[in-house]
Amino acid sequence: MKTFGRIFFVLAILFASAVTWLNLSWKSIEQLTNSPSESRIDYYLNDFTLMKTDGDGKVSYHVTGQHLTHNQGTGASDIYQPYVEARSDNGELVTINAQKATQEGKSGNMSLSGEIKVYKPLFKDSPEFMLTTQNMTYNPTTQTISSADDIDLVSDQGYLHGTGFETNLDEQELRILSNVQAEFKPAQ
């Protein structure tokens, strides 16, 4: 009777470990099946440039970067060390650098993060300026840039610091939402 008990005990352990192993391996196999999943990357670019052109072929903005990963499930792209050049309707150029950008699927909204620099060179009578912050959302379609973080804006007229901003490149309007401190050179 004892021997039978022992055999039954060993069989039970073997059966339990077989079921556990099957469970674990099934989970990893599942990831290989072709159904779109939240985290799967379906293509990857290295040292790339992406351009968006209008109907008449004019480049409205272009993005270059070190790496781009595209997510199959969400259609979102992550871009590392992005550099964006955007031209508004009147031809005014704005460039944007960051450590990382995430383009949220087809809608095109781009969230930028890490040492962001927005630079606008002198254009006709519109002064040159450099704006720096840590996080920012850029909507290339409506040409709006916004952030909830501290920002610093430096131009040859002086500097301006604040927290949170919204700007529309076409309307040329910049709103700084709180904690504003500015210093401007005296008028000549």
Partner 1 sequence: LQGDVTKPVRIEADTIVFNKAKGFGKYSGNVVIVQGSLQIRASEIEIKAPNSSIELITAKGSPVRFQQTMDDGKVAKGQANLLRYAVKEKKLYLDGSAELSQNNDKFSSQHIEYSTRTGELKAGVAKVKGQNTKAKGRVSAIFYPTNK
Distance CA 120, CA 155 (A): 10
Task: For residue 34, give the amino acid letter.
Answer: N
- In whole angstroms, how close is the CB of 183 to partner 1 at the nearest point? 5
Please say whether the dihedral angle defined by the alpha carbons of residues 77, 140, 110 and 47, taken in this order, is positive or negative: positive
Nearer to partner 1, 22 or 180 (CB): 180
Count of residues of this chain found to bind partner 1 when the rule CB under 8 A is applied: 23
Does the footprint of partner 1 cover residue 10 (CB under 8 A)?
no
Structure token pair of residue 167: 């700007």
5 is an interface residue for partner 1 by CB under 8 A:
no
**158 counts as binding partner 1 under rule CB under 8 A:** yes
Q: Which is nearer to partner 1, 121 or 127 (CB)?
A: 127
Residues 118 to 137: which contact partner 1 by CB under 8 A?
125-127
DSSP 102-150: EE-GGG--EEEEEEEEEEE--BTTBPPEEEEEEEEEEETTTTEEEEEEE
Site for partner 1 in 167-186 (CB under 8 A): 171-186
Q: Name the site residues for partner 1 (rule: CB under 8 A).
A: 125-127, 158, 160, 162, 171-187
